[in-house]
Amino acid sequence: MQTVIVMIVGILLLIFAIWLIKDMNKNENRLKESKINKIKKETRPAEAEPSSSDIGARLKKLRQMYKDGILSKVEFEKAKNKLLK
């Protein structure tokens, strides 16, 4: 009887731990998306051709986001190529 109770408690703890990990990942993804959206708003192309210093500043922001782990290598390269077109 005691072993059954211990097993049930163990299973419940495992389920709770999995739920916590999933919830933490959701929160990290929301934070990452909000940071990406903020940078996207800041780096939207203007009506006129952007100046080279403006492009440089945008590239620095993208690079910093990549270094901070906000962007993956693929996301960084895609954003960089879009900016340089």
* 17-52 per-position pLDDT tens digit: 998 888 888 878 787 888 887 777 776 655 555 566
- Please count the residues of the chain: 85
Confidence at residue 28, expressed as pLDDT on a 0 to 100 scale: 81
Confidence at residue 50, expressed as pLDDT on a 0 to 100 scale: 58
By CB atoms closer than 10 A (0-12, 13-18, 19+), residue 79 is: buried
State how far the alpha carbon of 52 is from the alpha carbons of 59, 63, 76, 83, in Å.
10, 16, 19, 11
For 61, the 3-state DSSP assignment is helix
* 51-77 per-position pLDDT tens digit: 666 888 889 999 998 998 888 899 899
70, 32 Cβ separation under 8 angstroms = yes
